[in-house]
Amino acid sequence: MLTVSRLFFSLLLTLPLASCVNPGTPANRQEQVRLLSHDLQQLSPTVSAREADRLATTAIEESARLSEDFKPMVYPWMNNGLVNTGLRKRGLCYQWRDDLFPHLFRLNLQTMALHLTASKRDTWQEHHGIIVTAKGQRFEDGLVIDPWRNGGRLWWGLLKNDKRHPWKPLPRELTPMVLRPLLMPDLYPSGSKFPPTR
């Protein structure tokens, strides 16, 4: 009897942990778009408000869509465990980044720049994201956008304030194959596959 009670109690405790992340209501996401656009515009007076709105909308909505595709757990490391054990096909941090990046790149931003980034590369804590800077701004002054961290509820913050991750630019030679047709069109054919735009 005691064993059954313990099992039931353990299952009850793990249920909230195993539940999927809700990417938020449309109204909630609209508020997130407003906040992200504001933060992007704070990068520099040269950042276009219209471009900031477009980038913010795309980043928030595409992250929510990825959450529906990946169905992440409340804690990202749980999702990584499912992927690494073969119970899920995709959902690692670099896959979130690689799926989000083309949608942002195709905005053809004129007043901002996108940078692939990695933290703690070649360690078990390796993490991937995207840095947004004003055009010509130093990488170190950019804004991190991270769709993986909160399972599709886009996380963002100034690079210098993200103490959990010492972000560095991803070296050109480590550009993911799926993104090379975008970032290296002279070297890679444009017919390569990458996520479709919506």
Query: Virtual CA dihedral for 156, 80, 170, 135, nearest 10 degrees?
Result: -20
Q: Is 129 part of any domain?
A: yes
Lookup result for tokens 């070649």: 122
Per residue in 28-77, pLDDT (tens digit) is: 999 999 999 999 999 999 999 999 999 999 999 999 999 888 888 777 77
Confidence band for 12, pLDDT divided at 50, 70 and 90: very low
CA distance readout (Å), 89 to 22, 49, 64, 86, 127: 20, 38, 18, 6, 18
Return the pLDDT at 96.
Answer: 94
DSSP state of 20: B
Confidence band for 172, pLDDT divided at 50, 70 and 90: very high
Q: Is 139 part of any domain?
A: yes
Please state the domain count of the chain: 1
Return the pLDDT at 10.
Answer: 42
Return the pLDDT at 11.
Answer: 39
pLDDT at position 112 over 60: yes
Q: Is 106 part of any domain?
A: yes
Residue 153's nearest CA partner among 23, 18, 17, 20 is 23
Q: Is 2 part of any domain?
A: no
Q: Is 10 part of any domain?
A: no
Q: Is 159 part of any domain?
A: yes
User: For residue 155, what are the domain limits?
Assistant: 23-183
pLDDT at position 179 over 70: yes
Other CB atoms within 10 A of residue 39 CB: 17
Confidence band for 88, pLDDT divided at 50, 70 and 90: confident
| Whole-angstrom distance, CA of residue 146 vs CA of residue 157 | 9
Residue predicted with more confidence, 15 or 68: 68
Residue 100's nearest CA partner among 139, 135, 69 is 69
Confidence band for 177, pLDDT divided at 50, 70 and 90: very high
Q: Is 189 part of any domain?
A: no
pTM score, two decimals? 0.83
Q: Is 77 part of any domain?
A: yes
